[in-house]
Amino acid sequence: MVTDGNFLIYSIEMGLLLIGVLENILMIMAVISTSALHLNLRILICNCCIGFILMAVGRAMIAVPLCIAHLRDVDVSSHAWCFIANAMHHSSADAVCLSFVFIMLERTAGTIWSADYEKTKIHVFPCIFAMLQWLIPMSMILGNFLDSANRMQYFLEYPHLPCQIEYLTPTMFLVTICIILIGFIASVVGMTLVYKKNIKKYNTRDIWFTNVNLSERYQISENIRSTHLLFPLLTLMLIFSILSVAVLMYGGYWVGVMTKEPARFEDVVKWFGRGGEAAQLFDIITAVYTISFPICAFKCHPNLLRRIRRLFGWNSYAIRPLSLHEIPGYELTNAPIRTQTEYHFQELDRVWNRE
C-alpha cells in the first residue's frame, strides 16, 4: 500500500533528485574542462558524480512505479525490476561512500611520488581505484543475492508491492553501515595525514632553493589546494553519514519490533508510519546530499564555478579596460630630452589629479 504520505515524499524526493542529477552533470563538465586539478583526481571526482547520478536513477526506478500505483491503482513493476533498482541504488550509495577513500589514496600517491607524479602522467591509479570503487559494492550485491533466504521477515509476512520490499538482508544491512563508517574514518584520517605531510614539505624552505624540479613544486602546491577542496566535502559527508546511519538504525529497530512483537503494530504505526514514511527520511537525506555535493565543490573551488559560467556564457569575471588616456606631446619630438621629460610628467600629473 502506498499512502498519501508516501506519495508526497516520493514527489519531493524526485524533484530534489532531478536537481541533483543536473548539478552533477554540470559538475562533471566543469571537472573535465578544468586544468586546475590533476587528471587522476578529476577522474575519481567524476566517478563520484556518476555514483550520485546512478543512485538517483535507481531511486527513480523504485519511486515512479509506486507513484503510478498510488494514482492509477495498478502495479506496473515486478520483483526482478525492483531488485535491480534496489541493487543499483545500494551499490551506487556504497560507491559514493567509498569514493573519498580512493581519492585519499590517489592524493597519497601524489604525495609519495611528488617528484615524478606530475610529469609521468601515471593514470593506472585512478583506473584501478575506479574499478575497485564499483567492484566492492557489486560483490556486496552478489552476497546479498546469495543470502536472500535471510531476507527480513517483515516483508514476507505482510503484503507489499514489489518496489516496497527491502531486498537488502540484515547481514548486508550491517555491512552497509560499516562501509559508511569505515569509509568516513579512513578518509578523514588519511586526508589529514596527507595534508600535514604536504604542509611539512611546503614549509621546508630548502626545497625551493635546492630543488629545480618545477613539477615537484607544483605537485606539492596542488596537493595542498586539492585537500582544501576535499575537506569541506568530507565535512558534508560526515553530516549526511551521521543522519543516514541514524535513520537506518531507527528503521531497523522498528522493523525488528514488528517482526518479534506483532502485537505492537499500533506502536510501529505511530512512530514509523503506516507506509513506513519514517524510513523515507533516508532517501530525502540522500537526495539533499546529491544536491549539496556539487554546490559545496563549486563554492570551495572557484575555478569550477568559472568553468560553468563559461559554458553558459556567464563570464562575469571578464575585466573591461577603461578608456586609454592619451598624452599629447608629439610636437616635442625634436625638443631636448629634459624638456620632453618635464612635459611628460606634467601631463601625467594633470591626468591623475583631474576630477
Is residue 318, in this structure, part of any structural domain at all?
A: no
| Max Cα-Cα span within the chain | 109
Note whether 119 and 261 are same-domain residues: yes
Is residue 269, in this structure, part of any structural domain at all?
A: yes
Domain count along the chain:
2
Task: Share the mean pLDDT of the chain.
Answer: 78
Note whether 199 and 337 are same-domain residues: no
Q: What is the pLDDT of residue 291?
A: 93
Give residue-wise pLDDT tens across range 68-109. Answer: 988 888 888 888 898 889 889 888 988 888 888 888 888 888
Do residues 307 and 33 lie in contact, with contact meaning Cβ atoms separated by under 8 Å? yes
Is residue 222, in this structure, part of any structural domain at all?
A: yes
Calculate mean pLDDT across residues 14-35. 91
Q: Which three cell numbers stand for residue 155?
A: 516483508
Note whether 60 and 155 are same-domain residues: yes
Note whether 37 and 145 are same-domain residues: yes
Note whether 352 and 260 are same-domain residues: no
Calculate mean pLDDT across residues 125-150. 81
Q: Please report which confidence band the pLDDT of residue 215 belongs to, taking 50, 70 and 90 as the band edges.
A: low
Note whether 245 and 291 are same-domain residues: yes
Note whether 190 and 46 are same-domain residues: yes
Identify the residue with better confidence: 23 or 1. Answer: 23
Give residue-wise pLDDT tens across range 150-202. Answer: 665 554 455 677 787 777 777 777 887 787 778 778 888 888 888 888 888 77
Note whether 347 and 231 are same-domain residues: no
Note whether 262 and 352 are same-domain residues: no
Q: Measured between alpha carbons, how far is residue 255 from residues 22, 173, 259, 269, 297 in Å?
A: 35, 13, 6, 11, 37
Is residue 316, in this structure, part of any structural domain at all?
A: no
Do residues 304 and 236 lie in contact, with contact meaning Cβ atoms separated by under 8 Å? no
Q: Is pLDDT at 113 greater than 80 in this prediction? A: no
Note whether 170 and 264 are same-domain residues: yes
Q: What CA–CA distance (Å, rounded) separates 119 from 110?
A: 11
Is residue 146, in this structure, part of any structural domain at all?
A: yes
Domain harbouring 119, CATH code: 1.20.1070.10
Q: Which three cell numbers stand for residue 228?
A: 582544501
Is residue 319, in this structure, part of any structural domain at all?
A: no
Q: What CA–CA distance (Å, rounded) separates 297 from 217?
A: 25
Q: Please report which confidence band the pLDDT of residue 34 belongs to, taking 50, 70 and 90 as the band edges.
A: confident
Q: Is pLDDT at 324 greater than 60 in this prediction? A: no
Cβ burial of 261 (10 Å; 0-12, 13-18, 19+) is: exposed
Q: Which three cell numbers stand for residue 162?
A: 514489489
Note whether 110 and 252 are same-domain residues: yes
Whole-angstrom Cα Rg for the chain: 29
| 158 backbone φψ class: left, alpha, beta (φ>0; ψ -120 to 50) | beta
Its pTM stands at 0.77
Instruction: Tell me which residue of 301, 319, 316, 335 sits closest to 30, measured CA to CA.
Output: 301
Compute φ and ψ for 321, nearest 5 degrees. Answer: -70, 145
Q: What is the pLDDT of residue 349?
A: 76
Q: What is the pLDDT of residue 153?
A: 53
Q: What is the pLDDT of residue 355?
A: 47
Cell 569541506 belongs to residue:
232
Is residue 68, in this structure, part of any structural domain at all?
A: yes
Q: 319 by DSSP, 3-state: which?
A: coil
Angle at 194 between CA 184 and CA 35, to 5 degrees: 95
Is residue 317, in this structure, part of any structural domain at all?
A: no
Note whether 245 and 344 are same-domain residues: no
Where is average pLDDT lowest: 50-54, 93-97, 234-238, 317-321?
317-321
Which domain does 32 fall in, by range?
4-311
Calculate mean pLDDT across residues 227-231. 79
Q: What is the pLDDT of residue 315?
A: 61
